[in-house]
Structure formats: C-alpha cells, structure tokens
A and B are shown apart, each in its own frame.
Chain A
Amino acid sequence: MLPQNKCPPEIEDYVSAQSLAEAVAAMADGQGSALAGGSDLWAQKDSGNGRMRKRLVNINRVPDLRGVSEAGGVIRLGALTTMTELLESTLLRDKVPVLAKTADRFASSQIRNVATIGGNIANASPAGDAVLPLIGLDAQVELVSKRGKRSLPLDSFFRGPGKTVMEADELIAAVEFATPPKGFHGVFCKSGPRPALEISVVAMCLTGILKGGKLTGPRLVFGAVGPTPMRCVKTEALIDGKALDDALIAEALAIMATEIAPIDDFRASKWYRTQMAQTFLEAELNACR
C-alpha cells in the first residue's frame, strides 16, 4: 500500500535503448533513470520512496553493458551482469570464487536472475552485498556519458545511503579488477534472522594473499554498519602480513569496532551489529591461521 499521502512518481517517457549510444543519449539531459533488473527500482517506485526521474531508460538490450571477460590480466564485468551469472560463470568460479560465494547468499534465485552488479552499485544501499567483494578486489568502476568515459575506484564511489559521485547523465558501464594472483583468499559472511532471502543485518568481506597463516594486502569491508560500505583501513594495516595469533586477533577486533559506525534500528541494535561484525572477523581470521 502506498503511504496514502505519497504519490508514485509519474513516468512521463520510456526509452528502450538498443545501443550504448542510444542509452547515453537518453540519459544526457539528466532526466533519465536507468532500468536494469528493476529489483530495487520497482520496489522503491511502489513505496513512493523512489528517486525515479521522469524518463525510464531500459538498458537491458544494450550489448556493450553485458558480458564477463578477461584480457591482459584484467577481469571485466558488464554492468548488466546478474547475480546468477556470478554464480554460474566458470571463469569467475575458477578465478574469483568469492563473487560466487557472495551471489550464493544474495536474495533468492528469482531475484538473482534479474539483479545486476550495476544496479547493486548504483543503488548505493549500505546493505548492498555485491559491492563488498568488488571493493575487496580493488575494483574500478567505469562510468559513461555523452561527455565521455571515466574510471574511478569503487571504494571512493559512495557518498551516503543512495548517494554516489555519479552524475545524473552517467551510466555505469562495467567494473574491472586485476585477476587475483595465486594464493588470493576471499570470504563473504552475512547474517540476518534467516539463512535465505534476507537483507543483510551485517555483511563482511575479507580478502588478501594468504600464505603461512599471514594475510598480505588485506581488504576488510563491511556492509550495513554505516552509511556506505565501510572499509576498515586501520584494521587492515594492523594485520597486514603478520602472524595471526590470539593477541593480534583480539586487537584487530577492538580496532575494527572503532572503524565501523552501526546504528540502532528496529532490525538490529548497535550492540548486536558490533557483536556480529566481531564474530565474523574473529572466525575468518582464525580460519586463516
């Protein structure tokens, strides 16, 4: 039921772009909303909380926004790559299993079939799951507009819940990251009241090169414990390349707790979110020993 004082946004115009050129043209005046899987956009429209602009630009038929490929040591995921593709791509399963692990905990098969990487990033929910391993892989996000192309680290893309550095005329074209080297270790943990079909109450991704019980070049990223995905750089620096003993892990847990910024809401309290984050980190650091 639409809250009775809120109007659903009016869609005045609909464009089904057949090429990237048509898509960026339709976005050029800043009045377009891209439609990928629609699993966020539609729910937001129906609740009257959408940030939907007046022209709906369906990008699903744009071939340049699709595909999973690897060239010159770089893996590229088109913005329209779905969670199901993350689960099923043999390239990704072999070389970046953490993406499949994440997709496996994402929504349900019906949603995974439509939910895209581009949508998960652009939606900029603090609880977006797929962005966590991508930040853990040091991914770059590629933006296109009629004005041209630019690339920036995904880690610097988010500004707050639903807010990003993307301009109104821009589209996400793809994300790219270096093919992980040998010894790359990546884990994704998530919890909510239920094992399946759950918005994260806390999610965590931990990556790095694992050798001899030490994690080098670690990346530690949390979801749903702050306004954006939260990277814990102090904790990363603390454990980088060091032997993970009880004392170091205890210190890491304490420092991490100062880097995240969970809130109290009716889904979970700050106390519980911190407890979950620490439980995940403790278990995963111990698993590295």
Chain B
Amino acid sequence: MDKIIEKHSMIGKRVTKLDAPDKAVARTRYINDMVLPRMLYGKILRTDRVHARILSIDTSAAEALPGVQAVITAKDTPGGKIGVLRDNPPLKGDVVRCIRDEIAAVAAETEELCDEAIRLIKVEYEDLPTVFDCTSALANGAPIIHEDRPDNIAMEQNFEHGDMAEGEAQSDFVVEGAYNVHYVTHCNMGVSCTVADYDTDGRVTIYTQTQYPFNVKMDIAPSLGVHPGDVRIIQPPVGGAFGSKLDVYPYEPICVFLAKKTRRPVKLIYSREEEFIASPTRQPVEFKIRAGMKKDGTLTFRDCDSLLNNGGYTSWGATTPYVTMRTMTSHYTVPNVRYRARAVYTNNPFAGSFRGYGNVQATWALETHMDKMAEKIGMDPIAFRLKNANPPNQITPQGSNLGCIDLVGCIEQAAAKSDFLAKWHANNKAWAEPGRFKRGIGIATSLHNAGGAKIHKSDGCGTMLKMDDYARVTIITGGSEIGQGLDTVLAQLVAEELGVPMRDITIINNDSALRPWDVGVHASRTTYIAGNSAVRVARKARDQILRAAAAHTNMLPDMLDLRQGHVVQAETGLALMPLDRILRQMHFAGAEAELVMATDYYEPPSEPEDANHMGDMSAAYSHAAHVAEIVVDTRLGTIKVEKIWSAQDVGRVINPVGLEGQIEGGIAMGLGYGLSEELKIVEGKVLNPSFRDYHVMTAPEMPELDLTFIETGDAEGPAGAKGIAELPTIVIAPAIGNALYNATGVRIDHPPLTPEKVARAIAAHKGLLG
C-alpha cells in the first residue's frame, strides 16, 4: 500500500459543537428531566420576612397529609453551615436574614402534594430591625445581621502600591466619579435542580448542576455530617450555569437531608419565580474612583473605594474584589494605585459568582471614568487609551506579568474597522442640533485573566486517556461541561495529537468517582487548563504508540507520525499501518502486552496571591476592545444598538464556531446588563421575579456583530490559545454608555440604561424636568 497521507491540522477548523445535534433535536436529557425509580419530590418553604426571629414552626398538618414522606426543619439538619464564610445554615432555625431564607422542606410523592404540604406549615415570627444599604449597615447602631460580625463587614480587601501623595502631586487634573452597579441574575434556561440518593451504607450520590464538583464534595460534606469521600457528584447536562453553580446553596444539602430521611431518591427543582428570588445574583457594588493625570494624558494615580452589598449571607459575590482589584490597579499603566473593598451584610438577597466575576462591574466603572478623563483634557477616547495602554510583558502593581498581551492591537483594530474617530467627531458636533434621533459611538476595553486563577491550593486539572482495540479514544477529564464547549475543544486537541477523527473520541466529564480532580469551570480557565492536560495526556499516548510502531517498522519513533488513523512516515506521509492494527499488536503480545492508557495532571505556572495581594495568579492575561454604534430616541429614551465591533486577544483560534458562540452569547449577556436587565429589589424583596418584568435580550435586539480575533499565540496555552469566555460579557456595557454620551451629551453612571432612565436624563439635561 503506497498511500500518502498529508498532515492535516484540526486547529482553527470550524467544528460543530459535539452536543449541538442532540440539543437541537431535543434528545439531550437534562438534569431537569431526570426521574429515578421510587423518586420523591422536594420543596422548600421560604420566609416572607427579610429579618425576623423565628418563634415557632408548626409542621404537624403538613406531616399528616397523605403522600407526604418527610418534613424537615433546622433541627433535622444538625451539620455545619455552608457558604464562603460558613455563615449560611441550610435551614434556618432561629433567625431569617433575607427573603430567600429556607425554613422547612417537604418530600412527597408529587410536586402538587409538596405545594399543598408547604402551605400547611405555620411559622410565627418576631420582626427585627432591617437594613438594606451598605452605608446604613456600616453606621453606628445599625441592626446587626450576624452576631459574630458586629460591624456588619463580611470581608475587606485593601491594596496600595507606589506613593499616592506623589501621584497626586504630579497630577495636572484629577477626576472623581461614583458608579453604582445593580442586581442582575443569570437567567439559566434550566432552573436549579438537584437529585439526591443515599445508599444503605451512608454514602450519598448527588446529581447536580455544579460547575465545581470536587469543591462541592469538600464544601457540602460538613453540612451533611458525612466524610467528603462519601459524597459522589454526578453532573448531567445542564441548561446553563454562567457562574451561578460555583457554590453550594441550601437547596442542595436540603435535598440530601430529605433523601436521607425518606431513604428514597429526592428531586428538588425550582419554579422560575423561585429561580429569580432564590438564586445568587451578580454582586452589586458602589464604586468611588479618584484618578489623576498629567497634561499630556499620562495617568498618575488611581484610587478606588467600593462597597459591596453582601446581603444576608456570604457566597462568592463577596470575593469578586479579587478580580475587581486587578482591573482597578492594573488596567492601563498607573504608577500609584490604591484599592479598598468592603462587603457589607444587609437584609438583601446575596450575590454569587457570575461570568466576568466582578470585572463586569469594575469595567463599567473604570471605562466610564476613562472616557470622562479623556474629555477633561480634550483627548479623544482612542488616543487617551492608547497613551496609557500596558505594553506586552508589563509587570503590574500586583506583580503579574501580563505576557504576550496586545491591548494596543485590540484598540487599533476596533477603532479602524468601525471608522471610530470620524464618526465620534461628527456625532460630537451634532449634539446641539435639533432632531429626535441621535447617533453615537463609544469604546471600552478590558483586562481579564485568560489562564485560570490560582485561588485554591492548585489550579490544576487531571486527565485519563485510554484507547481500545479499534483505535477509539476515551478521555476522562476533570473539566466540567456546562454548555461552554469543553467536550468539543478537548476532542479537537486530542484528535490533533493522535491523528484520529473527532467522532472516535468519547469524553467522560460528569462523575466524580471516575474523574481526576479539577478546580471547576470558572475564571475562563477550562480550555486553557483542561485543554493543556488533554494535550499532555494525548502526547503520552502518542509516544507509547510510536515507540511500539518504531519497533515494528525498524524506524525511530521521531521518524513516525500519526495521521488519519494511520502510522505514517513523518517526512513523506507514507502510510505504514492502520492505527488499530498496531494497537491490537501491542495488546495481544503475550508477556509483552500493553494497553494504551495514560494519565496527566497539569498545574499551570501561576502563583496564589499572598496576604498583600501580590502574586501572578493567572498563567495568561488578555484584553478585548468593543466599539458600539447606537441610535438614541431622545424622546422615548430607547437605545438601538446598530453594530458592535469586537477585537479580542484570543491567543490562538482553536475552533472559530465555539469562539463566535462564546463572544456572541457574551455580548448578548453584557448588553442585557447595560441596557435592560435589573432585578428590582426594594426593602429586600424582589419585585420582578418573571421574564415578563425582567428583560433579557431577545433575538430582534441583537445588533450586527463584527468580530476580530487577535492571535498573540500564548506560549503556555494549548496550541497557543487563551481563555476567552468572560471578556465579551465584561466589556460591552460601558461602550454603550460612552456611545450614549457621544450621541446626546448625557452621561448615566448607574446602569442599566433603560428607556425611562435615558429619557429622564435627556429631559433633565435639556432643562425639561421640574
């Protein structure tokens, strides 16, 4: 056989997401569809108070209802508390602190019976004084939310670098601003759901939507009073997570307790209204920024103080300052910086993590502020940003090496493609002219980690590989798939190394009993970290195969290659033997027999931050620049986004389809944040818990998109790629706000830019409001 097989790379090819066909024809069985034999349903009674002492809970009528198998309250959940500061008991027995608080739970044969039983539970309360905003909660004599934190401060971070007084002295201009960012929620298509199953020996299997399986084992075990080793986490397909499933939330241990008490599997699933009321939100923040510059636009200092409304309990929202801090200290070159953040307990709902992790908020504040500074010294927004952009390999005040970044390229490409400056100058002149519709253009940029974030002892991921006698490959990865496309990218990277078709690769990623450890899906880390581990494990398998093939062909391993299911001569491409044949020869070789199996654990070369917030915590960093062109109806206040130009440093394109999907979806989410989404919380209560009154972007609102991928080729990333998924959500909203200013001369510092807010601001600007 004189077959010649050319080298054919998978990297950069347009590949359909592996899970897409099944999802498109409704074949995917999501966790929400799960039914186990003898399964019961569970339901939670939540409080209708925001701060109150529980005097009594009477569950007798609920227990008497036929078909109800268990009713539990705090006395049935003796384990520890959950949450980042372990301040959240799964069921509340003494005090409720926010509207979501769980009082009791029932397990019954049907969901309807659960609803009925819940209505039969009687709770008596004594109301306590309430507090809803940070400033009031910090004041002397404010109601205390947790007795062990009498100052109501849940967490505090401080950082200072350089000499602030010196920075101030060098400044020709100082600009101050305040930016309050609001509550939004994830709006996962699949509502929160978990199924718990106890075995007779006290081990528990939890089917759940977590994006953090190995940490869930560790975090949930104390609340259950079991050993973490006795917790098995299985992750069926989910309808979105976007950061919302990074922590353990009370419904998960509650479901386990119901399963334990009934000795039957129990499924707990939220209604949509419950999803709005009782899932974590994005962290709301009040920022104050003071920043200085010289006459030529050189930044001299930046001071940022922020208050985070922590709500009743502490989840990951309180830790978003770790990311916010990097933006405030390190986005653009600023020699002297100070940053302070305090997360303050109130009687509001609490926030979790959400795609962008504090940086959506920080970038809104900083990029609005940067535009104001540019205006102050009469520079255009492009020139001002370019003047202060970090160069490659910049060492930041926190000690990160930004590596192969290209902020300048991002700004220049987005500006050139959108013809930014010509439009911007023309719109500026048209402010004062009559006319109901005004055109505006704005830019914003962002810095984000693109190679994980070492916030735990390890930021690693393990992978196991096996090949069978038919050259089919199984990859068992620690990485989790929450719809972002991990399976596809791993299959592509492994196919590249082993020269096999993607459809011959099976990815197993859903069972903690099989998979090696991984941190979880966050920090735009999965392609980078799980991808690197998959490449490494595939290379080990490849070396094993080539060693065996070399022995069979009397060649040296490095003279051979794997292409299209064959062992070939590397130089000529001459096919030497089919891959499955060499695998069988290795397998059925008597005493010499070997199977192709390999393992790997990849630890990225990043370091945890020390107590002073110094440390290069990500293996890579990246930027994006977005330009938005809008038309504002100055009477109705509606903003029509006509086109967005995005230029993002992606390291290297592995699969354009996956990349476009992440950027387009990220922009849709960021537009919702900037324009229409807001969870309205008044005195601790959620006023709009439905899609009727909570407005996510719909298809007709999506503008035309022009995406530019800038390939900086990261030396460490798989095939040169960087993590890309959070940046598009982070950067778009302030570009819209800056465009509104360009169109109308009106600045709105507090998003979202809803029609009424815009109409009011414009009317006020024209002196039309009393």
Give B720-770 interface residues, CB cut-off 8 Å to A.
Answer: 754-756, 759-760, 763, 769
Judge whether B701 and A2 touch: CB under 8 Å. no
Give B513-547 interface residues, CB cut-off 8 Å to A.
Answer: none
> Least Cβ distance of A212 to chain B in Å?
26
Complex alpha-carbon distance, A272 and B762, angstroms: 12
Judge whether A194 and B695 touch: CB under 8 Å. yes
Complex alpha-carbon distance, A271 and B768, angstroms: 11
Q: Interface-forming stretch among A64-72, A81-89, A261-269?
A: A261-269
Tell whether A196 pairs with B271 under 8 Å between CB atoms, given A266-B687, A275-B635. no
A287 at the interface (CB under 8 A from B): no
Tell whether A191 pairs with B687 under 8 Å between CB atoms, given A267-B693, A275-B759. no
A238 at the interface (CB under 8 A from B): no
Tell whether A4 pairs with B119 under 8 Å between CB atoms, given A271-B760, A275-B763. yes
A199 at the interface (CB under 8 A from B): yes
Complex alpha-carbon distance, A4 and B104, angstroms: 13
B45 at the interface (CB under 8 A from A): yes
Judge whether A4 and B635 touch: CB under 8 Å. no
Nearest chain-A residue to B769 (Cβ)? A271
Nearest chain-A residue to B276 (Cβ)? A1
Judge whether A279 and B635 touch: CB under 8 Å. yes
Q: Which residues of B contact A195 (CB under 8 A)?
A: 698, 700-701
Judge whether B636 and A1 touch: CB under 8 Å. no
Give B665-696 interface residues, CB cut-off 8 Å to A.
Answer: 676, 680, 682, 687-689, 692-693, 695
A110 at the interface (CB under 8 A from B): no
Judge whether B46 and A4 touch: CB under 8 Å. yes
Tell whether A2 pairs with B115 under 8 Å between CB atoms, given A191-B755, A193-B676. yes
A220 at the interface (CB under 8 A from B): no
Tell whether A199 pairs with B692 under 8 Å between CB atoms, given A269-B756, A272-B759. yes
Query: In the complex, which of the residues A4, A196, A276 has the most CB atoms of chain B within 10 Å of its own CB atom?
Result: A4
A7 at the interface (CB under 8 A from B): yes
Judge whether A7 and B119 touch: CB under 8 Å. yes
B118 at the interface (CB under 8 A from A): yes
Judge whether A276 and B636 touch: CB under 8 Å. yes
Judge whether A194 and B119 touch: CB under 8 Å. no
Band of interface residues on A: 20 to 34
Judge whether A272 and B756 touch: CB under 8 Å. yes
> Least Cβ distance of B428 to chain A in Å?
25
Judge whether B701 and A196 touch: CB under 8 Å. yes
Q: Which residues of A contact B176 (CB under 8 A)?
A: none
Query: In the complex, which of the residues A2, A194, A267, A276 has the most CB atoms of chain B within 10 Å of its own CB atom?
Result: A194
Nearest chain-A residue to B273 (Cβ)? A1
Q: Which residues of A contact B701 (CB under 8 A)?
A: 194-196
Complex alpha-carbon distance, A2 and B635, angstroms: 38
Complex alpha-carbon distance, A5 and B46, angstroms: 11
B469 at the interface (CB under 8 A from A): no
Give A244-275 interface residues, CB cut-off 8 Å to B.
Answer: 266-269, 271-272, 275
Give A1-48 interface residues, CB cut-off 8 Å to B.
Answer: 1-2, 4-5, 7
Q: Which residues of A contact B635 (CB under 8 A)?
A: 275, 279
A233 at the interface (CB under 8 A from B): no
Judge whether A194 and B698 touch: CB under 8 Å. yes
Nearest chain-A residue to B693 (Cβ)? A267
A165 at the interface (CB under 8 A from B): no
Q: Which residues of A contact B303 (CB under 8 A)?
A: none
Partner of B638, one of A191, A196, A266: A191
Tell whether A193 pairs with B755 under 8 Å between CB atoms, given A2-B115, A271-B760. yes
Complex alpha-carbon distance, A268 and B689, angstroms: 17
B48 at the interface (CB under 8 A from A): yes
Complex alpha-carbon distance, A279 and B688, angstroms: 27
Complex alpha-carbon distance, A217 and B760, angstroms: 35
Query: In the complex, which of the residues A1, A7, A197, A199 has the most CB atoms of chain B within 10 Å of its own CB atom?
Result: A1
B343 at the interface (CB under 8 A from A): no
Give B256-273 interface residues, CB cut-off 8 Å to A.
Answer: 270-273
Q: Which residues of B contact A272 (CB under 8 A)?
A: 637, 755-756, 759-760
Complex alpha-carbon distance, A161 and B274, angstroms: 27
Judge whether A268 and B688 touch: CB under 8 Å. no
B277 at the interface (CB under 8 A from A): yes
Complex alpha-carbon distance, A33 and B763, angstroms: 47
Complex alpha-carbon distance, A275 and B755, angstroms: 11
> Least Cβ distance of A128 to chain B in Å?
15
Q: Which residues of A contact B273 (CB under 8 A)?
A: 1
Give A92-126 interface residues, CB cut-off 8 Å to B.
Answer: none
Q: Which residues of B contact A196 (CB under 8 A)?
A: 698-701
Complex alpha-carbon distance, A269 and B757, angstroms: 10
Judge whether A193 and B698 touch: CB under 8 Å. no
Q: Which residues of A contact B637 (CB under 8 A)?
A: 272
Complex alpha-carbon distance, A196 and B697, angstroms: 10
Complex alpha-carbon distance, A209 and B335, angstroms: 70
Give A196-211 interface residues, CB cut-off 8 Å to B.
Answer: 196-197, 199
Q: Which residues of A contact B48 (CB under 8 A)?
A: 4-5
Judge whether B692 and A266 touch: CB under 8 Å. no
Complex alpha-carbon distance, A55 and B379, angstroms: 71
Judge whether B700 and A193 touch: CB under 8 Å. no
Complex alpha-carbon distance, A150 and B759, angstroms: 46
B149-170 interface bits toward A, Cβ cutoff 8 Å, 1 = contact, 0 = none? 0000000000000000000000
Complex alpha-carbon distance, A275 and B115, angstroms: 44
Complex alpha-carbon distance, A194 and B48, angstroms: 31
Complex alpha-carbon distance, A281 and B105, angstroms: 54
Tell whether A4 pairs with B118 under 8 Å between CB atoms, given A197-B698, A266-B687. yes
Complex alpha-carbon distance, A197 and B759, angstroms: 21
Judge whether A266 and B688 touch: CB under 8 Å. yes
Nearest chain-A residue to B698 (Cβ)? A196
Nearest chain-B residue to A108 (Cβ)? B698
Complex alpha-carbon distance, A268 and B757, angstroms: 10
> Least Cβ distance of A217 to chain B in Å?
28
Nearest chain-A residue to B754 (Cβ)? A193
Q: Which residues of B contact A2 (CB under 8 A)?
A: 115, 271
Q: Which residues of A contact B754 (CB under 8 A)?
A: 193
Complex alpha-carbon distance, A1 and B701, angstroms: 29
Judge whether A1 and B271 touch: CB under 8 Å. yes
Query: In the complex, which of the residues A191, A193, A267, A276 has the most CB atoms of chain B within 10 Å of its own CB atom?
Result: A193
Judge whether A268 and B756 touch: CB under 8 Å. yes
Partner of B119, one of A5, A197, A199, A266: A5
> Least Cβ distance of B629 to chain A in Å?
18
Judge whether B695 and A193 touch: CB under 8 Å. yes
Query: In the complex, which of the residues A2, A7, A275, A276 has the most CB atoms of chain B within 10 Å of its own CB atom?
Result: A275
Q: Which residues of A contact B45 (CB under 8 A)?
A: 4
> Least Cβ distance of B183 to chain A in Å?
14
Judge whether B119 and A191 touch: CB under 8 Å. no
Judge whether A194 and B676 touch: CB under 8 Å. yes
B42-67 interface bits toward A, Cβ cutoff 8 Å, 1 = contact, 0 = none? 00011010000000000000000000
Nearest chain-A residue to B270 (Cβ)? A1
Complex alpha-carbon distance, A197 and B696, angstroms: 11
Q: Which residues of B contact A194 (CB under 8 A)?
A: 676, 695, 698, 701
Q: Which residues of A contact B698 (CB under 8 A)?
A: 194-197
> Least Cβ distance of A282 to chain B in Å?
8
Nearest chain-B residue to A282 (Cβ)? B635
Q: Which residues of A contact B759 (CB under 8 A)?
A: 272, 275
Nearest chain-A residue to B115 (Cβ)? A2
Complex alpha-carbon distance, A271 and B769, angstroms: 10
In the complex, the 9 A-B pairs of residues with the closest C-beta atoms, listed nearest first = A1-B273, A1-B271, A279-B635, A1-B274, A272-B756, A196-B700, A196-B698, A266-B687, A193-B695
**Chain A interface (Cβ within 8 Å of chain B)?**
1-2, 4-5, 7, 191, 193-197, 199, 266-269, 271-272, 275-276, 279
**Chain B interface (Cβ within 8 Å of chain A)?**
45-46, 48, 115, 118-119, 270-274, 277, 635-638, 676, 680, 682, 687-689, 692-693, 695, 698-701, 754-756, 759-760, 763, 769
Would you list 11 pairs from A and B whose C-beta atoms are within 8 A, ordered by A residue? A1-B270, A1-B271, A1-B689, A4-B119, A7-B119, A191-B755, A193-B755, A196-B700, A272-B755, A275-B635, A279-B635
Q: A4-B48, A269-B756 are in contact. List 6 more A-B contacts (CB 8 A).
A: A4-B45, A191-B755, A194-B701, A195-B700, A199-B692, A272-B755
